[in-house]
Structure 1
Amino acid sequence: MSEIGIGECLARLRAEFGWTQQQVADRYNEVEGRSVMTGKEIGRYERENRTPTPRTRGHLAEVFDIDSPALDRAAAVTKRRRKEAQAAGGAVLVSDAGETAAAVAVAPPSRHVLAADAAASARFAWFIAARNSDEHTAEQLDAEVASLARHFVSRPMTHARTAWACADAAGHNGLKGWVRGVESLIAFWNGHPRQAAGLARSGQQYVAPGSIGVRLASLEARALAVAGDQRGAAAALATAAQARDAMCEPDEMPGVFSFPAAKQLAYAGTTYLAIGGAHNVQQAVEAAQAAVGLYRSTTDDDRSVGDLHAAHLDLARCHMVAGEIDATEAMIGFVPKTPPGHLSASIRPRLSDLADELGAAQYRGAPQVAHLSDRIRSTTHRVALRAADHRSR
């Protein structure tokens, strides 16, 4: 896989976030604390008419939430190419920022990517780039990918960068859309719902059979609802429903590459609840109850424990809003019974938010509420300790 220069690197990053050059400049100025950057200057960097200084690269790395050495390496590639071109007496080649923005290929890894996953991804990316596989090898890889995909829902892993490389090399729109969905999830759980919505919306340009269109629209709807865009969330929910009605072919691969009806309902329930209002809360109850029913009737391999927890917690919040504390405790009770190692990273903040909401004025002084709040905090504490122990190993 070839190296990329600073211009292509910045254009790819900007395209992944769905930003204009001026939006990048605005965010740069927020980081810098001064109005020194312009959209035109970002354009010069992308065309490689100018190379950002080390200090500027540091601020750009913060804007895009990546390690600054990644931009330093890209700048070094650009400088080396310029020297080689000058030595050969030729013109300096610059990146086609417009084409790069449309292609949106692999970007440098963020600081959140685990070193082990990055190493594994790099090895596999090298494999697909360097090896001419025969039919038997392709069949074997297909079977292994199917097995990994099936078990992903209960044993999550992250290989988004290599997944994009594979999708790009194969020209596979379905996988491109799926990778955008993974990146949207990462942005969402890192506290950037607007960015998450943009990434999910970007993925919808890759039209493909199966449920990927429903998944991306559902991701966009949930992110917009959390960001406070009620109208946008409702529109995205409608898009998800349209995509579901338009599905005429099943998903090519099982597990994480699919977006089954139970997951669709779980996401819809969370979105309705985030939009708020009596009608939407009732819609959330119906969607979450249906999701729980479907998940409980499926096989263990196809059951997403995280989504099952999420649906229970959504129901708990619905009952809490209605003042039904007994029903709230019954729904929450399913989660603490789960071993801490089986609680996904997304469940802990949901539990913490519930405990905070139970601390509202209308619940103060109620022994049952105090007991429930303590029970939730005990669960989140156990999960946090396990996560800290895992990181220290």
Structure 2
Amino acid sequence: MKVLLVDDDADVREIIAFTIESQLSCEINEIDCGNAAIEEIKLNPNYDLIVCDYNMPDGNGGEVYNYLIDNNIDIPYVFCSSDFSQDHPEFNDKSRMLCEITKPRIFEGIETMVEALKVYNLRNNQESTPVNEEDYCTASLDLVAHCKQLPCDIYLLVSGKYLKTFKAGDEFSSEDKEKFESKNVENFLVKREDSKKFVQYVVEKVISILEDTSLKVGEKVLSVHDVIMDTIRELGMSESVARAAKSSVDFTLKYFDQNDETKNLRHMIFGDPERSYLTRHSVGISYISVGILKQTSWDSPENRNKLVMSAFMHDISVKKRKFTESKFSEKNDLEEIKDHPKIAIDVLKSMKEIPEDVFKIISDHHERPDGSGFPRAISGDQISPLASIFIFSHDIVDAMYELIKMDEVISLESVKKIISKFEYSQGKFPRIFKAFEKAELFQGV
């Protein structure tokens, strides 16, 4: 299904797109004014739905609607504005009007739009777009624990029967989480048709975290990462979750250079054992790798983004409860993780516009300079500069956690002592080691 979304406010477009994608399986093309939308329809008149603002500086929504009428183009049109269509004579002919969404009540309006679209599709003998399968999918205890109020019913499978454990709207407290942890419950079940409600929750949760002025940047970075990654692990990738992931990468990069806030972030990565290890591990690698990159000739905004995206996504297929800090850093149960780079790449392929370098970094992040790594057993000369920085940063983060477990001070010299067991003489690694020595990465840790 193809949707044309027209609004001159980029932030509003993003919120509307998030919400539509949580309800429908679709491809959205975003346009910022009425005249550009008309030109797009001239070139591509095969859209299944148009969602359009009214008040825009370069051609309003009424002009878009009249173009459909005048040219006998039968695309259902959604009036999405703080105005009302009845106040504008362009909309006296309701033949293309599917429904109205009144800002700012976007989510409720899009729910109405989905129902109206079902009726429209049935009336026109088209297949209904929303997915309504009645089977169940997994929602981990960690994912459910993010919800202050549950977005849908959740179930446990008991003696072959689905037992409703919580109802939509119920609170899920920290005490509830502890209770189920004590019973070794790792996963709940939700009806697959309700999984979109979790996706919508993720969008709203990410927005609320980023807008919460009471939270320090470190808390925002880690909390957003937790919510997004748990959702991808359990419910898979969608366009709206992919947008949220990209937003979290941009947000993280924006604040890495702010000294006071970054000091707080360092403390939360390496000094808060209550946080998920995989989250702290991923954000830690992003912080170290960007710090090293800045001291090299490879530094650029694009390469910083690639390293942070790789750090956030490289362990996306690893279950949080499968690996503890010690297990993962010591690489026990290697058979359990040897395929996870490939699986992570398969997940990422569903995201749009991911640079090829990100796939290379994730594919090679368990290679070693001496060729003893996996999955390809390539040596330093064959490893790209960005992947080499990532591998080295991975070693640094593991060394820092090892120092924490030994209750020793984290410093340049103590980290160098831990990583002295590795050989960094091949490929780009000598240059990266020198860049690491120049970067002031451990102040305030």
Q: Greater strand share, 1 or 2? A: 2
Q: TM-score range by the shorter chain?
A: 0.3 to 0.5
Higher gyration radius (CA): 2
TM-score when normalising by structure 2: 0.31
